[in-house]
Amino acid sequence: MSSLQSGACLRPRFRAAITRAFVSARAMLSIGALYFARMLTPTRGSRLAKLGGALGALLAMTHAAVAQVPPKPDSTARDSLVVSVDSLAARLARAEAAIALLQQQLATEASAAVRTRSRFQLELSARVLSNSYFTSGRTNSAELPLFVRDPATPPGGSIGSAGTGALGMTLRQTLLGAAISVDSVLGATFVGDIDIDFFAGGTAYTADPFGFPEMRLRTVNAQLRWTNTTLMIGTDTPLISDLNPVSLAAVGTSGFATAGNLWNWIPQMRISRTVTRAVLRNTPVSFALHAAALAPALGVDHAAESDGIDAGERAARPALQGRMSVQWGPSDANDDARGEIGIGAHRGWARVSGDTLMSTHAIAVDAHVGLSRGVSLLGEAYTGRAISALGGGGIGQLFGAPDVGSVLGAPVRDVAGWAQLNAQLRPSVTTGAGCGLAVADARDRPRRRRNGSCEAHLIWRPTQPVLVGLEVRRLRTSYATGSYRATHVNLAVGFEW
């Protein structure tokens, strides 16, 4: 066989081998690109994931197109092969450019992420809230009323009246938060969080806090969570009154304060221990014991105090609280399937006059019960003595009117409670209503003898991150001179993430 015949016979085989090689290379490249895109994309459905998917699909279609090119006669096949090689090179160049762009976008996203100095993951949250309100009646605050003031004696002459209605708008109830979670810390999971708002800077009768709200620390928690034990150090609500009603109108001060809700944020150390676990009718049930030592505070100084130190601190001992609770339902279930009921006690001491210690005490019960079909019930009740420092106990009164010749009156005792029913009508709509009531013991001669508060609210989240809330609150406070009413309407508009 001549060399010409041998060359003619080898050319088709050579072209077929080259075609198969390019087809194999294209298949391997498409598979590698898909795997590369899947590894690099941080979240499903993100823009980078779509880019990686599109890149893989493009390479897969190219592979299919090359694999389906039929063999042709000599000159046509040679020209087609040249065109296919050129097209393949162009497509490879575009694929390399797309991968480079993908790497650049991933690097940019990684550099923009929030990281802590210790390289642990930090989760940020915020709720920017604008509250527009109208309050009719004389209340302790037009922005967030808790009780109604007794009518003041009108000034004489031609000065006129200041009126009893007020209209305003603030952003002071905006919230910012941060949380961190780390596994395997002393054999436990460490959880830390901080929560701040802009409700500091004076009372609602001062104009500056509305135009220039000041930041305020609300709660701080550092917890170590073992299987059955939790240790917490931080600032939080009282252990015996750990619930707060749902509200977008009462954030700076929790709803139903001075009407049954002990809400104040107090520095404390807590320990909780799950004693036993059981399963009743396919429902997990657990029984737990809790104890806390709180910073001593009464809100007044000793009659002979010259250093500005609180009378509770002068007792030189912490306030103590204990609680036992029963929980049911899995912790990750919705409100319909879980609940908790607890009972607790408080004991504190203070040095307010003389050389003896005055005691403060309270007994409280609380409940959070999921009913059915998105309906849940929240509530608390207590009876106590001189516990206004816990957040509105005694209708915000520590002592009653003093007797003639006395500096201080009797510590105010009161019985109070609140309850709220909430319903999830739709995934984006929550509504509810509740009432709170506090009754002070008339024998202690309190100025405010009875305080009631009822509210109805509607919260709408039309789309993330937007939220809208409407709340109407009705207040009634009783004095020796009679009962007085006020109405508060609050429209909250904001966004959260």
At residue 173, what are phi and psi to the nearest 5 degrees? -95, 20
Residue 461 lies in a domain: yes
Structure tokens at 463: 């789309």
Q: Judge whether residue 47 has pLDDT over 50.
A: no
SS3 201: coil
**Tokens 């104009």 identify what position?**
207
Residue 17 has pLDDT above 50, yes or no: yes
Angle between helices 47-67 and 74-112 (to 10 degrees): 170
d(CA 402, CA 496): 48
In a domain, 414, yes or no: yes
Average pLDDT of the residues in 321-325: 98
Query: Do residues 204 and 226 share a domain?
Result: yes
Asked if residue 133 and residue 75 are part of one domain, the reply reads no
Mind listing the pLDDT tens digit for each residue in 102-114?
Answer: 877 777 666 555 6
Residue 450: closest CA among 440, 460, 442: 440
What pLDDT score does 120 carry?
78
Give the pLDDT score at 92: 82
| pLDDT tens per residue, range 390-434 | 999 999 999 999 988 788 899 999 999 999 999 998 999 999 999
Q: 387 — phi, psi (to 5°)?
A: -120, 30
What is the per-residue pLDDT for 85? 58
Categorize the per-residue pLDDT at 20 as very low, low, confident or very high, splitting at 50, 70 and 90. Answer: low
Residues 39 and 104 in one domain: yes
Domain that holds residue 316: 122-155+162-303+312-496
Q: Are residues 275 and 185 in the same domain?
A: yes
The total of other beta-carbon atoms located within 10 Å of residue 481's CB is 8
Bridge partner residues of 344 (DSSP): 323, 364
pLDDT band of 224, cuts 50, 70, 90: very high
219 & 132 share domain: yes
What would the DSSP string read from start to end of 132-199? EEEEES-BS-SSS--SBPPPPPPPSTT-----SEEEEEE-TT-EEEEEEEEEEETTEEEEEEEEEEEE
The interaxial angle of helices 47-67 and 3-40, nearest 10 deg, is 160
From 153, 217, 143, 230, select the one nearest 186 (Cα to Cα). Answer: 230
The residue among 54, 87, 112 that closes a domain is: 112
Answer yes or no: is 258 within a domain: yes
Torsion angle of alpha carbons 245, 248, 252, 257, nearest 10°? Answer: -30
- Residue 40, pLDDT > 80, answer no
Of the three residues 112, 147, 178, the one that is the final residue of a domain is 112
Residues 206 and 294 in one domain: yes
Taking residues 198-212, report their average pLDDT. 65
* Measured distance CA(421)–CA(338) in Å, rounded: 15
- What are the structure tokens assigned to 57, written together? 């699909």
Does a structural domain hold residue 72? yes
Asked whether 178 and 186 are in contact (CB, 8 A), the reply is no
Name the one residue in this structure whose structure tokens are 């009372």. Answer: 203
pLDDT of residue 331: 67
pLDDT higher than 50, residue 464? yes
Containing 392, the helix (H) or strand (E) segment is none
Between 97-106, 120-129, 422-431, the lowest mean confidence (pLDDT) is in: 97-106
Same domain, 361 and 237: yes
**Which residues are within 8 A (CB) of 176 and not within 5 positions of it... i.e. 6 or more apart?**
124, 125, 126, 195, 196, 197
Q: Which of 48, 78, 112 is the last residue of a domain?
A: 112
At 320, which CATH number? 2.40.160.10
Backbone angles phi, psi at 112, to 5 degrees: -85, -10
Does 183 lie in the same domain as 38?
no
Instruction: Please indicate, yes or no, whether residues 326 and 270 belong to a single structural domain of this protein.
Output: yes
- DSSP assignment of 230-289 equals EEEEEEES-TT-------SS-TTTTTTBTTTB----EEEEEEEEEEEEEEETTEEEEEEE
Judgement on whether residues 127 and 96 belong to the same structural domain of the protein:
no
Asked if residue 204 has pLDDT above 50, the reply is no
Q: Is the domain of 21 the same as that of 170?
A: no
pTM for the structure as a whole: 0.76
Assigned domain for 117 exists? no
The residue that leads in pLDDT, 5 or 420, is 420
How confident is the model over 319-332, as a mean pLDDT?
90
> How many contiguous H segments (helices) and E segments (strands) does the chain have?
5, 17
Question: Residues 104, 151: one domain?
Answer: no
* Mean pLDDT for the stretch of residues 232-252: 96
In a domain, 353, yes or no: yes
Neighbours of 209 (CB within 10 A): 19
- In percent, the amount of the chain with pLDDT more than 90 equals 61
Total count of domains within the chain: 2
- Rg for the chain, CA atoms, rounded: 34
Residue 358 lies in a domain: yes
For residues 151 and 154, give the distance between their C-alpha atoms in angstroms, rounded to a whole number: 9
Query: Average pLDDT, stretch 110-129?
Result: 76
Give the per-residue pLDDT at 432.
Answer: 97
- With 90 as the cut, is the pLDDT of residue 493 above it? yes
Instruction: Report if residue 256 sits inside a domain.
Output: yes
